[in-house]
Structure 1
Amino acid sequence: MNKKIWIAGILAATLVTCQVSRQNGSKSDMLRTTDASVSAIPAFTDNPSPTHLTPEQSIKTFKLPKGYHLELVASEPMIHEPVAIAWDGNARMYVAELNTYMQDVEGTDEHAPTSRVMLLEDTNNDGKMDKSSVFIDKMLLPRMLLCVGNELLVNETDTYNVYSYKDNNKDGVADEKRPVYTPDKKAPGNLEHQRSGLDWNVDNWIYMAVDAVRFRYTNGVLKPDSIPSGSSGQWGLTHDNYGRLYFSSAGGETPALGFQINPIYGRMEFADQYKEEFNEVWPIIKTPDVEGGLKRLRPDTTLNHFTASCGQVVFRGDKLPVDLQGDLLISEPVGRLIRRAKVTNKNGKITLENAYQKEEFIASTDMNFRAVNMYTGPDGCLYIVDMNRGIIQEGNWTGPKSYLRPQIKRLGLDKNIQHGRIYRLVHDGMAPGPKPKMLDESSQRLVAYLGHPNGWWRDNAQKELVVRNDQSVVPLLKAIATGESNEAIKSPSALARLHALWTLEGLNALDQSTIARALKDSDFEIRKAAVRMTEPYLKKNDAMIETLAALKADPVADVRMQLIFSLGTSESPKARALAGDIVKHANGAEVLARAQRSVEKNEDAKKFGMKLGRLDGPDRTLVMNGSVIYKSLCATCHGADGKGLTSKTAPPLNGSRRLNRNNTQASVRILLHGLSGPIEGNSYPTEMPSMKDNDDEWIASVLSYVRHEFTNSPPVRPADVKTIREQTASRDKAYTLDELSIQ
C-alpha cells in the first residue's frame, strides 16, 4: 500500500473519531499501573520487544517507587505524536502533534503541513479525556503553546512567527487567527535545534529555549527583549516557585544547565553543580538505538549517559508527596526513563543530585515509551507526554552511514508511528484536585488563588490577572504583598506575597513604597525579588542605590547576589562601587565573585555581541586584531566568509578540521611555514606561503580569528606560537597534510 495513502487514512479515521463529542468513560475504565504490575517488572530486561504495545499492554511496563501510579489520560486514536500540552484557565488541554515527524527512517515529507493542535476535555472529572476536537489543522509541526485568556498562542517549526487562535462559537475549533509576533523570518536548523518553551515565568516574562530573546505579552502582542549573553537549552523549559529557569541540552548531552541565574544577567555554571555520576542513567532494558553508538553503551547494552535529555519540569503540585515538590524531573527518551533530581541551594549555588542510587524515578520496558515533555497539572499531579514511537532521532542522525539506521531497521522501530500517550502520575491516598474555572471567575476571586498550594493555580491566576489588566484589584494585591490579612487571603504566605508583588508589576501598579516594604520581608526570596524590582529606578537615578545599600550585608547569599546583578543594570559609579563592596566583604565567597564576573561578561556581550563577548579581554583583542588582518590579506584568497572563492585560489577555511581545537600544533605550523600539495583531494594553483616573518602576536591573532569565526574553537595565545616556532626553527619548506597529525 502506498505509504502516503496509508498515513492519510489514519489521519482521516482519527478526524472522524475526534468529531465524536464524547466517549463513554468512568473511573473503572481508567488504565492504571497496579502494585502487582510494578512488582512484576524485572530489575533488567535483557531482550525487550520493539513491537508496538497497546495502552493496555504498555501500562504494565512501568517501574515506579512504591505508592506512585501512572494513569492513562489520553491515547490514540484521540491523539497522535504528541509533543507538548497547555491548559487554559478552565483546564481544557491543548495538545501539539508532530504528525509528520520521522514517519520513516528517511524523514519523508516531514515538512508537509499536516500536523495539528488538538483540544481535549474531561467532562466527567474522572481524569480521563473523553471529548476531543481538532482545534487547529494543517500546521507545520507546531512546537510551542501558551494559553492567554481565551486564546492559544502557537509557534510552528521553521518560523519565528507566533499566532493567536481563538474559538468564538465554542465548537472546539479555532475560527479566529491573528498575529502576535511576526518577524517573518525562516528559522534555521532541523526541528530538534529550534526553539521550545513559551514559558510565562513568575516575573511576567515569557522565556524560550535556544533563541536569545524573551517576550512580554502587552496589549495582545508579544514584545521581544534580547538576552545579550544568549539563552540556553534545547527541547524543554521549566521554572520553580521563584522563577528560576531550568534548561537542558540533548545535543550537548547535558541534562541540566542555565539554572544558576536568570539568563538576562549572563551565564554562570559551576563544574560541581552536579557530580559526573549525575550524568549516568540507569535504564531497565537494553538500549541499542543510541545515536552516540558504542561509546554510549555499557557492556550490557544499556545507555550509560544522558543523550536525549528533554521535557524537564520542576514539580510544583500539591497532590503528590511533599518530598517531590521542588524536585527537578528530566526525561531521557532514548533510555525510556525519567530522572528525579533533588535540588539544593548551598549559599547561593544550586546543586543537583539523583534521588536514587543507580536507578531512576520512572523507567519502562516498553521500547516505544518516549517521554518528551512533563508538566505540573491543574489537578496538582504530574503529567507526562509520551510520543510512544520507535524513532526518536531526527533524520540528520539516521542516515545510511549512521550507527542508528541498522539498529532501527533491525528492530523495526521505523514501523512504530502515529501513536501517543498522555499519563498523569498519582499517589495512593491522594486524590487529584478539582478542575479550575478561572476564565469564568471574577478578578477578585483570582487574587485568592495567588496563595494556592498548587503552583499551576498561582501561575495561571497571576497570568490571567495580568492579561485582563484589571486595576480594581490593585489595593487587594498591595495588602497581600505587604502581608496584611485581607478578604482574599487571611494570612498571606510567602508565595502569595511573591505572586502579589509580581502581579502588581505585571499590572504596572508596583510603587516604590511597596517595594521598600518587600525589601524588608522576612522571606529572602521576596527580598531577592524586590531587589530585582528596583531595576527600573536604578536605571533612572541614584536614589534607590542608598536604599539597596542597607542589604549589602544581608545574611542570605542569594539576596547579595541579586544585588550584584541588579546594580549591574545601572551605569552609575555608585552602583558599581556598591557591587564591588559586596564582593569585597564576602570573605572570598565563590558565588558572589562569579556573579560579578557574569555581570562583566554580560556587559561585554552587549558591547561586542554574544560570541565575542564571551571571550576574556586579551583573547577578544587577538580575535579583533586578527579580523583586520584576515579581511585585508587572507580574504582575497580564502573568501571573506572563509568558504573560498569560485576561482578556487585557495582551500576553504569554514569548518576546516585544520583549525579546530584539537589541531593547534598543525595550524600554527602551517601559518609559520606554509602548506603545499593536495588538500583534501583538491589541488590549488599556489601553495600557502610562510608567514614566519611576522611576530608571535600577529600569527596568534590571525589564527585566533579564523578559529573563532570559522570553527568556533578557542583562540591561540602568542606563547603557544613562540613555543612551536622554537620547535620548528630549522624548518625551511612548507608542510604537506601527510606530515601533520590532523584530527
Structure 2
Amino acid sequence: MKDFLKSPVVAAGQSLKEFTLEEGFEISLVASEPMVQTPVAMLFDARGRMWIAEMTGYMPDVSGTGEDRPNGRIVILEDTDSDGRPDRRKIFLDSLVLPRSLCFVDNGLLVAEPPNLWFYPIENDRPGKRTLVDSVYAVGGNVEHQPNGLLRTVDNWIYNAKSAKRYRRYGDGWKIENTHFRGQWGISQDNQGRLYYNHNSANVLGDNFLPGFGHWNANQKRLAGYNNPIVANNRVYPIRPTPGVNRGYMPGILDDSLRLVNFTAACGPLVYRGDLFDPAYRTSVFVPEPSANLIKRNIIDEQGFRTPGRQAYTGREFLASTDERFRPVALCDAPDGAMYVLDMARGIIQHKTYVTPYLRGEIQERSLTNPLNNGRIYKITPKGAVSRPLAVNADTDAELVALLGHANGWIRDHAQQTLVDQKRLGSVPALKKVAASSKNEIEIIHCLWTLEGLGKISTEEVLPLYDSRSYRMRAMAFGLTASVLDKNNFRTFEKIWSKLLAENQTDVFPYLAFSMHALSGYDPVFAADMLKKLAEKQPDDAFTAGAVISNLEGKEEKFLQALQVSDTASIIVRQLNAAIQNGISRAASQSKAMLASQYPLGAEFYNTICQTCHGADGNGIPSLAPPLNQSEWVNGRKDILTGIVLFGLTGPVTVNKRLYQAPEISGDMPGIGYDPAISNEQIAQMLSYIRKSWQNNAEPVSAGEVEALRKKFSGREKAFTTSELEQAF
C-alpha cells in the first residue's frame, strides 16, 4: 500500500497535530475516549455540563452486524476542577438503539430513539418516568435517513431534519404539527429563527422565511423560499487523499490526487451565533464533511428575505485534518462562545445499506473497521481568547430578562427557554418594557417570542412592528400575528395589510400571502381578494406566487379562472397549472392499502428505505430525488429499472421531459443490490409496488428476474449512468 494511503489510528493526544485551522484560531481537545464514545449530538446545560448522545452501535463492521443492539447511551460530562476538560462521566440513559437527538424542555429531556420520541423528566440527573411523545417519530429509513435534530427555535417550536413535523409542549401534553420537509442530518437557526440544513451532497439549504408558514398545500411540490440552496457551491478541499468514499471509483468524484471534489456527506450545519469569534464570523454557517475530514465555512448575506451565501475560501477550509478517522458530524454553540466539534472518530462513515464493493474494499484494505469505541470533542476559539466559565448564573426574572440581549445566542436561547419553561409570569412587565424601549433588534425578537411562549403576547406589542423601518421587525410582526389574531382584532390587521399592499411594499408580499391562511378563518372574502391582488401585482415573482398558492389547496383551478393575468407563461400561471395537475394525480392514485396487502415486503421496503427521498406520494422531495409517479423509468422496461435499483444511478437524469441534476437533487441514487441482507424477493416486491402505485400501472417484477440481473452484473462495482443503461440492457 502506498504510504499516503495508509490510515493509522491516531491517538487522542496526537490528533491536534493533524489539523490545519484558519489563521487566528486554535483548537483544543476537550474530551476523548473513554470519557466519550461515538458522539453524534450534544447539549450544554446551565451548569456548563455536556449531555451527549452516543451512537455506539453504528456500523460495528462493514456489514453492520449487530447494529440493532441496545448499546447506545445518553451521558453527562462534567468538569469538576475547572480546567476546561470534563473529568466526570455519568450515564443518564443506557440500553438505547442508535439514539440520535436531544432537546431540553420543561426540566426534562427529549430523546430520539427510532422509531420513538420520548420525554424524560430529569430528577437529580436521573430519568423520571418517560412519556411517549411520538411513536412514529422516525419510522422507516436507516440511520442516514431518519428524522433527527430536535432544534428548539426562537418561535418556541422544536424542528427536525429529515422530517416534516414540529413539536411543542403545552402543559403536560404535546402538540405535533406538519411543517416543511427539511434536510438530512442536523439543523440550525439564525438570529431571526430562520432554519438552515443540508443533505449529504448539498452544502447549505435553508428557509428565506420564518418556519411556520406555507406548508399547507399538498398539491404544491416546490415552494420558493423553503429548501432554498443558500450556498450552491459544493466544492470541498481536503488536505489528505480521501479514496474511502462510496463513489470514489467514479470520474469526477476524486481529483488526480485522490481527494474528494464535492460534498458527499455534508451534515450538522451550524449558524455561528456566539460572541467569541470576530464579528465577521457571525454571518457564517459552518458545515462538517466527515468523508473528507474537514469543516467548511460559508458566509451568508442578509438582503431582506433573500439570503445569498458563498464559500468563505477557495482552495482551503476553515478546518481540515490528515486523520482519516476525524469524522465531524455535529457542531455546537456554547455558553462560553466557542464552537464545539463532535467527532465520531470512526473509520466507517457510510451505512451498510449503500456500501459499494469499491468502498468495502477500501475499508478492508486500510483496516477502517476498528476501533469502535473512540470519540472526541474539540473546542475552537480565537487565539488568545480569554477562557470564561461555562456555567450561567442567572436565577431571578430580572437577570434572565437581561440575558435576552446578550451577545451570545446560546445565552439568549437559554434565558428565553428558562422563562418559558418555568412559566415566569412575573417577568412579563419587564419583557414588555424592554421590547418597547430597546434599540437592539435581537433583544426585541427574544423578548417578544418569550412573551408568546408565556401566552402573554398581545396585539399592542405586534402592531408597532408593522411600521418599523427594519425588515426583521416587519417579518417578526407577521410571525407573531398568528398568535394574537382573533375575532376582535382581525379588522385591524386587515387595514394594516391593505396599507402594505397599497404602498407596494413588495419585500413583505410573500408574508402578506402567507398570513391569509390564518385570516381565512375570520374573513375568507378579504383573504381571497388579497391573494388575487398579490398574484396580479407580482405574477412573475416566484416567492409571492408560491406564497399565494400555498393557501389554495383544491382551489387552484377556480383561482386561475378568476385571475386577471394575460401572460400564460408567467410564474403564477405555470405554478397554478402544476398544482392543478398534482391534485389530479393525487386523486387518481392507486390504493396504498390494497397494494400493501398485495406486496407487503415491497410496501415495507419502500416506506423504510425509498420514501425518505422519493416521498410518500412518489412525487419526489426537493433537493433529494426526482419523482417516481408517472416516471418513464418506473413504467418503462423493468430490467432497466431493476438495474438502477440494484446498482444505483448517477445523474443527471431526465424524468417526464425535465432534467434533474445536482444541486436540485442529490447527484447519485445509491444501489441496494450490494447488501446481501436485502433479498431478491424484497426488491422484486418493492419494484412491483412502485410500478403499481400512484398513477403508475406497469407489470410486476419477479424475484427470479432480480436474481438474474444480480448474477449478470455480479462484478459491477459502480452505478449506472443513463447512457450506460442504453448499452447495458
Q: TM-score, normalising length from structure 1?
A: 0.74
Q: Which amino acid aligns with 1:105?
A: V
What secondary structure, in the 3-state scheme, does the structure 1 residue paired with 2:233 have? helix
Aligned ranges for residues 273-288 of structure 1 at < 5 Å?
278-288=233-243
1:56 and 2:13 matched: yes
Q: Which residue of 2 aligns with 1:247?
A: 197
1:82 & 1:107 partners in 2: Cα distance? 18
CA contact (8 A) 1:70 1:425 kept: yes
CA contact (8 A) 1:707 1:713 kept: no
Which of 575, 593, 610 is the equivalent residue of 2:545? Answer: 593
- Cα offset for 1:63? 1.1
CA contact (8 A) 1:231 1:263 kept: no
Q: Which residue of 2 aligns with 1:720?
A: none
Aligned ranges for residues 165-244 of structure 1 at < 5 Å?
165-168=121-124, 173-179=125-131, 181-183=133-135, 187-227=139-179, 230-244=180-194
CA contact (8 A) 2:589 2:694 kept: no
Q: Which amino acid aligns with 1:138?
A: S
Aligned ranges for residues 351-430 of structure 1 at < 5 Å?
351-398=308-355, 402-430=357-385
1:519 and 2:466 matched: yes
Q: Which residue of 2 aligns with 1:298?
A: 255
What secondary structure, in the 3-state scheme, does the structure 1 residue paired with 2:414 have? helix
Q: Which residue of 1 aligns with 2:392?
A: 437
- Flag the structure with more relative contact order, 1 or 2, with Cα contacts below 8 A and sequence separation at least 6: 2
2:633 & 2:140 partners in 1: Cα distance? 34
Aligned ranges for residues 308-387 of structure 1 at < 5 Å?
308-387=265-344
Aligned ranges for residues 119-158 of structure 1 at < 5 Å?
119-156=76-113, 158=114
What secondary structure, in the 3-state scheme, does the structure 2 residue paired with 1:451 have? coil
- Cα offset for 1:94? 0.3
What secondary structure, in the 3-state scheme, does the structure 2 residue paired with 1:517 have? helix
What secondary structure, in the 3-state scheme, does the structure 2 residue paired with 1:409 have? helix
1:496 and 2:443 matched: yes
Aligned residues: 605
Q: Which residue of 1 aligns with 2:208?
A: 260
Distance 1:586 1:663, change over 3 A: closer
Distance 1:322 1:614, change over 3 A: farther
2:506 & 2:383 partners in 1: Cα distance? 39
Q: Provide, for residues 213-267 of structure 1, a one-character-per-residue CA deviation record: whole Å limited to 9, x for no partner.
A: 111122244321122xx421111011110000112112xx223224233264235
Aligned ranges for residues 440-479 of structure 1 at < 5 Å?
441-479=395-433
Q: Which residue of 2 aligns with 1:161?
A: 117
Q: Which residue of 2 aligns with 1:565?
A: 514
Distance 1:603 1:584, change over 3 A: closer
CA contact (8 A) 1:212 1:231 kept: yes
Q: Provide, for residues 7-49 of structure 1, a one-character-per-residue CA deviation record: whole Å limited to 9, x for no partner.
A: xxxxxxxxxxxxxxxxxxxxxxxxxxxxxxxxxxxxxx98153
Distance 1:479 1:297, change over 3 A: same
1:85 & 1:643 partners in 2: Cα distance? 36
Distance 1:599 1:341, change over 3 A: farther
CA contact (8 A) 2:80 2:87 kept: yes
Q: Which runs of 5+ in 2 are unaligned?
A: 216-221, 557-575, 604-616, 619-626, 644-685, 697-724
- Cα offset for 1:711? 6.1
1:197 & 1:678 partners in 2: Cα distance? 37
Q: Which residue of 1 aligns with 2:718?
A: none
Identity %: 31
2:27 & 2:447 partners in 1: Cα distance? 34
1:314 & 1:224 partners in 2: Cα distance? 25
What secondary structure, in the 3-state scheme, does the structure 1 residue paired with 2:182 have? coil
- Cα offset for 1:666? 9.3
Distance 1:709 1:563, change over 3 A: farther
CA contact (8 A) 1:288 1:302 kept: yes
- Cα offset for 1:455? 0.5
What secondary structure, in the 3-state scheme, does the structure 2 residue paired with 1:285 have? coil
What secondary structure, in the 3-state scheme, does the structure 1 residue paired with 2:361 have? helix
Q: Provide, for residues 425-453 of structure 1, a one-character-per-residue CA deviation record: whole Å limited to 9, x for no partner.
A: 10024324443335x61122111100000
1:80 & 1:147 partners in 2: Cα distance? 21
Q: Which residue of 1 aligns with 2:46?
A: 89
What secondary structure, in the 3-state scheme, does the structure 2 residue paired with 1:367 have? coil
Q: Which residue of 2 aligns with 1:733?
A: none
2:589 & 2:443 partners in 1: Cα distance? 54
Q: Which amino acid aligns with 2:38?
A: E
Q: Which residue of 2 aligns with 1:39?
A: none
Q: Provide, for residues 598-633 of structure 1, a one-character-per-residue CA deviation record: whole Å limited to 9, x for no partner.
A: 4446988xxxxxxxx9963124325534649x99xx
1:112 and 2:60 matched: no
1:260 & 1:196 partners in 2: Cα distance? 22
1:327 & 1:477 partners in 2: Cα distance? 29
Distance 1:376 1:556, change over 3 A: farther
- Cα offset for 1:393? 1.2
Q: Provide, for residues 455-488 of structure 1, a one-character-per-residue CA deviation record: whole Å limited to 9, x for no partner.
A: 11111110111101121111111111112xxxxx
What secondary structure, in the 3-state scheme, does the structure 2 residue paired with 1:142 have? coil
Which of 514, 530, 547 is the equivalent residue of 1:578? Answer: 530
Distance 1:61 1:529, change over 3 A: same
Moved more, 456-465 or 214-223: 214-223
CA contact (8 A) 2:151 2:159 kept: yes
Q: Provide, for residues 610-659 of structure 1, a one-character-per-residue CA deviation record: whole Å limited to 9, x for no partner.
A: xxx9963124325534649x99xxx8999588969xxxxxxxxx99xxx9
What secondary structure, in the 3-state scheme, does the structure 1 residue paired with 2:514 have? helix
Distance 1:167 1:348, change over 3 A: same
CA contact (8 A) 1:103 1:110 kept: yes
Distance 1:139 1:581, change over 3 A: same
2:687 & 2:20 partners in 1: Cα distance? 48
What secondary structure, in the 3-state scheme, does the structure 2 residue paired with 1:334 have? helix
Distance 1:619 1:501, change over 3 A: closer
Q: Which amino acid aligns with 2:155?
A: D
CA contact (8 A) 1:553 1:582 kept: no
Moved more, 562-571 or 175-184: 175-184
Distance 1:206 1:402, change over 3 A: same
Distance 1:188 1:344, change over 3 A: same
Q: TM-score, normalising length from structure 2?
A: 0.75
- Cα offset for 1:131? 2.4
Distance 1:558 1:165, change over 3 A: farther
Moved more, 351-360 or 374-383: 351-360
What secondary structure, in the 3-state scheme, does the structure 2 residue paired with 1:505 have? helix
Q: Which residue of 1 aligns with 2:495?
A: 546
What secondary structure, in the 3-state scheme, does the structure 2 residue paired with 1:212 have? strand
Q: Which residue of 2 aligns with 1:8?
A: none
Distance 1:447 1:623, change over 3 A: closer
2:519 & 2:692 partners in 1: Cα distance? 32
- Root-mean-square deviation (Å): 3.8
Q: Provide, for residues 549-581 of structure 1, a one-character-per-residue CA deviation record: whole Å limited to 9, x for no partner.
A: 233367875533222212233322212322443
1:294 & 1:455 partners in 2: Cα distance? 43
2:81 & 2:577 partners in 1: Cα distance? 54
1:418 & 1:384 partners in 2: Cα distance? 17
2:577 & 2:19 partners in 1: Cα distance? 44
Q: Provide, for residues 78-100 of structure 1, a one-character-per-residue CA deviation record: whole Å limited to 9, x for no partner.
A: 01111110112222210110111
Distance 1:270 1:200, change over 3 A: closer
Q: Which amino acid aligns with 1:160?
A: N
- Cα offset for 1:403? 2.1
- Cα offset for 1:540? 4.5
